[in-house]
Structure 1
Amino acid sequence: MTMRTMLRDLSFSTGEKILPKSVKTKGWMGSLRRAASDWARDAYVLSYPKSGRTWLRTMMGHMILRQYGVETDNPMEIQHFWKISSKIPNIGFTHDDYPNLKFGSEVETDKSRYSGKKIVLLTRDPRDVVVSYYFDAKNRMKVIDCDMEHYLRHERGSIDAVVAFYNAWARNRTGPRGFHWITYEDMHADAAGVLRSTAGFLGIPEPGDKLLQDAVQFGSFDNMRKTELKDGFKHERLRPADPDNPDSFKVRRGKAGGFVDYFSKETIEYIDNYIDENLDPFFARYKRKTDMSAKAEQTPSRDSASD
């Protein structure tokens, strides 16, 4: 056990035993305990909102709980698993700077605070991201009230913010202790393979084929939709805003390439041109026009900065 882990666990266990709830979760003491946990994080899973993070968390959580023989009510709460067993890596999940609340020009470009961490970056086709985020912002968060065309060109969190967020990580990917890129599209093609590679990168024990299959099934669209309908995790993270409105569900469609159902040909041309002209070549798989130098980096893999 590392010194960081020992100090983290001491801070947490002491607080649980001697501090009243009104103190240990609020004010300077609550801030101190959260800072100690962040300091001792082994890794972070980062993504732009609506990139498949809930799906990934559900599969990973189910897998990790069974690997370590522990139980919890909500398998998505992986960031708290270390409190159950200090053997489990301390993995944080964050949207990192909440770029969905910003215009592209406002998105943070300095990622130096992650220099000592392992980073798993989950991405999704920016076209699908803006569609999915639009419905989430309108029907769940209720922070916008406009049509999709207006949102695409004039609102915060649209295509310019997605591209700026991806570009920031393309340029900072060698800064962390390790960098592992996975995609929503590859999870659709081979969810078990993505889980296996991510587990290896994070230092989680090798999952057997049966466990991987169970995790994939547990995180399947049909199972997650049923769980959301019955509020199975008892958490707002997987609960519809309006059970009568399919577009208000967290698990809405689970489709790759579904953006074509919402945009006109002219709008798709606008988005494609924006991506082609502005997205870093590291993410060339999301461009229409790629050159040979960019294609070498199209496939997500464990970056050379990994250990």
Structure 2
Amino acid sequence: MTNSPSTLFNRFKNLTTSIKYRRSLPQNHMVEDIFLVSYPKSGNTWIRFLIANAIKVHYQIEREINFFSIDDIIPAVQGFTNLKPQGPFGLTELSRIIKSHAAYNPYYYRTILIVRDPRDVMVSYYYYLKSCCRITENYPLTDFIHHETYGVDAWVNHTTSWFYTVKPGQIVQLFLYEEFIQEPVKQLGQLMNLIGLKIEESNLVKAIELSSKENMRKSFKQHTSTYLTQIYKGNFVRRAEVTKGQELCDEDKKIIEEKTKDIAKIIGYNYGF
């Protein structure tokens, strides 16, 4: 029996979709892997430092957490390449924790989703890309907000994908950046419970102190590579604050709020209209 053109097209479409998703997976992907997912500049690196320092303090590990070691302890996803099979610090009793900025992926069976106020994300991402010369120094913030790849529409597409396309059997746990800022001990404790560790409050406090923005700024200066220092003009850790888009002009803020209002309301951001 000959396949119809539509059947062949659907098979090809399913194949290309599967390949696209698998590009956001390590080659030795495991069902137990925990993916730490966010849109860029939403606090992912800070959360990685918090997790790594919480594990370090809990197990009394001597290794320093810095911008050099963090990629070995909680690596970023690399499609079609192998990652170490053990969890953070080589611990076999813990699942691997893998950083990702990917939109929804059906193969991410366990996901910790970090979301930050899109108004602050746009400002932070804008200055980050300027600092590493991905956009020109005089590129207008207003144009950046409308940028197809980096702007507010990209944030909406990324965030909504994780809210509307999750399949049965996937676990996606939402954490808000702002709640981590306001209640770091509570939020970190809950996150570590999901990872499978009950951390004493005193150790959570130590982990938070080790992961302060001041310590992270020092770490960035001391431990980034010579190459990265040459191409990166600023510090990776900028303000790390909750401002609700304080640096935006009224018009830009309204554009972001209008474009994000539906998903923002579901998440819990209240724009006051």
Q: TM-score range by the shorter chain?
A: 0.7 to 0.9
- 2-side partners of 1:139 and 1:259: how far apart? 19
Please state whether the residue corresponding to 2:126 is helix, strand or coil: helix
Q: Secondary structure at the match of 1:149?
A: helix
Could you report, residue by residue, the CA deviation over 1:274-297 in whole angstroms, capped at 9, with x for unpaired residues? 222x426422425434xxxxxxxx
Aligned mates of 2:144, 2:93 — CA distance in 1: 45
CA contact (8 A) 1:119 1:179 kept: yes
Aligned counterpart for 1:192 among listed residues 185, 190, 193: 185
Q: Could you tell me which amino acid in structure 2 is paired with residue 216 of structure 1?
A: I
| Distance in 2 (alpha carbons) for counterparts of 1:166 and 1:214 | 31
Looking at structure 2, the residues matched to 272 and 168 of structure 1 have their Cα atoms a distance apart, in angstroms, of 18
Deviation at 1:187, TM superposition (A): 0.8
* Alignment-derived partner of residue 165 in structure 2: 172
Task: Evaluate the alpha carbon distance shift between residue 222 and residue 66 of structure 1 in structure 2; reply closer, same or farther with a 3 A threshold.
Answer: same
The counterpart of 2:213, out of the listed 214, 221, 233, is 221
1:171-223 CA-to-partner distances (Å, cap 9, x unmatched) read 134545322110110011011111100111121x2100110000110111111
Q: Which amino acid aligns with 1:156?
A: T
- 1:169 is displaced (CA, Å) by 0.8
> Residues of 1 paired with 2:162 and 2:230: CA distance?
31
Shift of 1:250: 0.7
Q: Distance in 2 between matches of 1:113 and 1:93?
A: 14
Name the counterpart of 1:210: 202
The size of the alignment, in residue pairs, is 233
**1:53 & 1:240 partners in 2: Cα distance?**
23
8 Å CA contact retained: 1:89, 1:202: yes
Change (3 A) 1:183 1:280: closer
Q: How does 1:242-281 map to 2 (within 5 A)?
A: 242=232, 248-257=234-243, 259-261=245-247, 263-276=248-261, 278-279=262-263, 281=265
1:43 and 2:34 equivalent? yes
Higher helix share: 1
Secondary structure in 1 matching 2:146:
helix
Alpha carbons 2:117, 2:244 under 8 Å: kept: no
| Greater relative CO, 1 or 2 (CA 8 Å, sep 6+) | 2
Structure 1: segments with no counterpart, 5+ residues: 1-30, 98-109, 290-307
C-alpha contact 2:110 2:172 (8 A) present in aligned 1: yes
**1:126 positional shift:** 0.6
Distance 1:49 1:155, change over 3 A: same
Q: Which residue of 1 aligns with 2:269?
A: 285
Aligned residue for 2:183, secondary structure, equals: helix
Q: In 1, are the aligned partners of 2:42 and 2:177 still within 8 Å (CA)? A: yes
Partner of 1:292: none
Counterpart secondary structure, 1:119: strand
CA RMSD after TM alignment: 2.8
Identical residues among aligned pairs (%): 23
Which AA in structure 1 matches 2:267?
F
Deviation, 1:41, is 4.1
For 2:147 and 2:213, locate their aligned partners in 1 and report how far apart those are by CA, in whole Å.
Answer: 32
Q: What is the Cα deviation at residue 264 of structure 1? A: 1.4
Are 1:181 and 2:174 matched, yes or no? yes
1:78 equivalent among 74, 81, 89? 74
Output the amino acid matched with 1:78: I
Q: Which residue of 2 aligns with 1:94?
A: 100
Which residue of the other structure, out of 56, 59, 80, is the alignment partner of 1:65? 56
